[in-house]
């Protein structure tokens, strides 16, 4: 871009013309404080259907109490990178708890999932080696392969046969990377087939289960538990703390030496300030609740079933998702935006997802459900969706 204001104005005008300009809404208050599914936003009270707080833990009093206690003891900030003087007891305990939860020997905390993916790909994919990825992988997995200087090869979404075919002429594939539960479609990766392919080809299988952890599987251990796969089948697991666990941050889980090598090599681990200790303490509390209070997961799945059967009977364009991520296809970006605005005016905050987050022509409304929602919330949003869709259908 030219260093010129007009070029910037023109670029913004282009986004407007394509209905692709994004904007933020300001959450002024949570109503009632501590609940989490209603918020005062841009001067209006709305029910929130676009948060990743799947288990309803983000505002739980145990988390905020743990955060306050650890901050009072260790400070608001960690003060340094983990390898300098930033790695405190709350971090270390959380790593051990996450290792036990994921059934791995060891885990390593990262400040965000984005950084975890950049770090793990740069550590395990060499320059000019091939990384094979699902076409709909999260942006951080794509960027990670690019930053590693690897050759990025992509296969059709969730198509393990296409993945195997793509690898046939390739001899230097070192990492196969996939989302566990896909963030924009709500479906799961064919993990058993990908694990077999990775084993056959001597590649690492990297599973990013940011959305699946805490939500999928009989005990909430995520998409690998759902697929019945152990640590040997998927030796690199990325999880985040900012979604079902309601906090912030991320981790990579693996065997002892894998994690040690990551600690030695991952630049996004080494050259950045450690997470605030209070966040680590809150995540520990969240992990305990996610394991002890299985009713959260059960309630969430009951709400998902209620939403899907209601939406199906209303003839809404559901996608094939059994997860808390429930997209409704609008195809056109302007239409998705109109639907989202209509819902907001009716008191429901549902985001419109457009390109480049999803491929062109597949713009959608993306609802996310939470254990903090009630059955009445689900029924109300279905009614509002029906109204909005009916209005769109009018000539
Ligand atoms: C949200 C997400 C990330 C990024 O995690 P952050 O902690 O928010 O940076 C990475 N991968 C997937 C699949 C995600 O959904």
Query: What pLDDT band is residue 31 in, cutting at 50, 70 and 90?
Result: confident
For the chain, give percent helix, strand, coil, nearest 5.
45, 20, 40
What pLDDT does residue 237 have? Answer: 98
Q: List pLDDT tens digits, range 148-189.
A: 999 999 999 999 999 999 999 999 999 999 999 999 999 999
Query: What pLDDT band is residue 30 in, cutting at 50, 70 and 90?
Result: confident
**19 in active site:** no
Has residue 36 got a pLDDT over 90? no
What pLDDT does residue 394 have? Answer: 67
- Surface-to-core class of residue 105, CB atoms within 10 Å of its CB (0-12 exposed, 13-18 middle, 19+ buried): middle
**Which residues lie below 8 Å from residue 3, measured CB to CB, with a gap of 6+?**
none
Residue 212 tokens read as 């699946």
What pLDDT does residue 19 have? Answer: 86
What pLDDT does residue 235 have? Answer: 97
The Å distance, Cα 4 to ligand 1 centre, comes to 34
Has residue 34 got a pLDDT over 60? no
Has residue 261 got a pLDDT over 80? yes
Cα separation, 362 vs 372, whole angstroms = 29
- Contact between 366 and 350 under an 8 Å Cβ cutoff? The reply is yes
Measuring CA to CA, which residue among 217, 220, 198 is closest to residue 207?
Answer: 198
Residue 250 tokens read as 């991320």
Q: List pLDDT tens digits, range 277-316.
A: 999 999 999 999 999 999 999 999 999 999 999 999 999 9
Burial annotation 193-208 (CB, 10 A radius, 16+ → b, else e): bbbebbeebebbbbbb
- Contact between 379 and 310 under an 8 Å Cβ cutoff? The reply is yes
Average pLDDT over residues 75-101: 98
Q: How far is CA 296 from CA 9, 28, 210, 287, 371, in A?
A: 47, 27, 18, 12, 5
pTM of the complete model: 0.96
Given 87, 91, 138, 243, the catalytic residue:
243
Cα separation, 64 vs 339, whole angstroms = 35
- Ligand 1 pocket check for 323: Cβ under 6 Å: no
In this structure, which residue's CA is closest to atom 5 in ligand 1?
A: 113
Ligand 1 site-directed mutation target among 53, 58, 110, 114, most atoms within 8 Å of CB: 114
Pairing of the two strands 204-208 and 130-134: unpaired
The Å distance, Cα 9 to ligand 1 centre, comes to 30
- Contact between 176 and 163 under an 8 Å Cβ cutoff? The reply is yes
- Domains contained in the chain, CATH given: 24-53+294-393 (3.90.1150.10), 61-292 (3.40.640.10)
The Å distance, Cα 256 to ligand 1 centre, comes to 24
Q: List pLDDT tens digits, range 185-219.
A: 999 999 999 999 999 999 999 999 999 999 999 99
Q: List pLDDT tens digits, range 331-373.
A: 999 999 999 999 999 999 999 999 989 999 999 999 999 999 9
- Ligand 1 pocket check for 112: Cβ under 6 Å: yes
Q: Length of the chain, please?
A: 395
For 147, what's the count of Cα atoms within 13 Å in the CB-facing half-sphere? 20
Q: How far is CA 208 from CA 23, 59, 190, in A?
A: 27, 25, 13
Query: What pLDDT band is residue 246 in, cutting at 50, 70 and 90?
Result: very high
In this structure, which residue's CA is closest to atom 14 in ligand 1?
A: 210
Count of beta carbons in the 10 Å neighbourhood of residue 154:
17
Residue located via tokens 């997470």: 275
What pLDDT does residue 33 have? Answer: 61
More confident residue, 90 or 392: 90
Vertex 137, ends 136 and 138: CA angle to 5°?
Answer: 120
What pLDDT does residue 379 have? Answer: 98
What pLDDT does residue 9 have? Answer: 96
227: left (phi over 0), alpha (psi -120 to 50) or beta: alpha
Has residue 140 got a pLDDT over 80? yes
**82 in active site:** no
- Alpha-helix runs per DSSP H in 202-276: 223-227, 256-265, 267-270
Cα separation, 285 vs 67, whole angstroms = 9
**243 in active site:** yes
Q: What is the mean pLDDT of the chain?
A: 96
Cα separation, 385 vs 201, whole angstroms = 46
The percent of residues in the chain predicted with pLDDT above 70, rounded, is 98
């Amino acid at each position: 871009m030219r260093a010129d204001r007009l070029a910037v104005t023109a670029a913004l005008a282009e986004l407007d013309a394509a209905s692709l300009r994004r904007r933020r809404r300001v959450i002024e208050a949570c109503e009632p404080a501590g609940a989490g599914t209603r918020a005062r936003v841009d001067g209006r009270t709305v029910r929130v259907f676009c948060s990743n707080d799947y288990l309803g833990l983000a505002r739980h009093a145990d988390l905020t109490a743990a955060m306050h206690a650890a901050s009072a003891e260790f400070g608001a900030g960690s003060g340094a990178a983990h390898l300098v003087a930033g790695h405190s007891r709350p971090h270390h305990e959380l790593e051990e708890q996450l290792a036990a939860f994921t059934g791995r020997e060891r885990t390593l905390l990262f400040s965000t999932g984005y950084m975890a993916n950049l770090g793990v790909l740069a550590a395990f994919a060499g320059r000019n080696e091939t990384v094979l990825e699902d076409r709909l992988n999260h942006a951080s997995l794509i960027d990670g392969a690019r930053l590693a200087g690897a050759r990025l090869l992509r296969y059709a979404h969730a198509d393990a046969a296409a993945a195997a075919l793509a690898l046939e002429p390739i001899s230097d594939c070192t990492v196969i990377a996939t989302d566990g539960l896909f963030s924009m479609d709500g479906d799961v990766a064919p993990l058993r087939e990908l694990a077999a392919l990775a084993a056959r080809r001597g590649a690492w299988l990297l599973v990013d289960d940011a959305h699946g952890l805490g939500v999928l599987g009989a005990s909430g251990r995520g998409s690998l538990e759902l697929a019945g796969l152990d640590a040997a089948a998927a030796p690199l697991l990325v999880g985040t703390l900012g979604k079902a666990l309601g906090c912030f941050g991320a981790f990579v889980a693996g065997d002892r030496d894998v994690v040690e090598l990551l600690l030695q090599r991952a630049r996004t681990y080494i050259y950045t300030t450690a997470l605030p200790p209070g966040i680590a303490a809150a995540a520990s509390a969240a992990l305990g609740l996610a394991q002890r209070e299985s009713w959260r997961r059960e309630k969430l799945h009951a709400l998902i079933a209620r939403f899907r059967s209601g939406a199906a009977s209303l003839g809404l364009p559901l996608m094939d998702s059994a997860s808390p991520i429930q997209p409704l296809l609008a195809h056109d970006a302007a239409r998705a935006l109109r639907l989202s605005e209509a819902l907001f005016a009716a008191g429901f905050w549902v985001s419109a997802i457009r390109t480049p987050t999803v491929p062109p022509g597949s713009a959608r409304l993306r609802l996310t459900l939470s254990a903090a929602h009630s059955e009445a919330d689900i029924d109300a949003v279905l009614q509002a969706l029906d109204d909005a869709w009916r209005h769109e259908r009018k000539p």
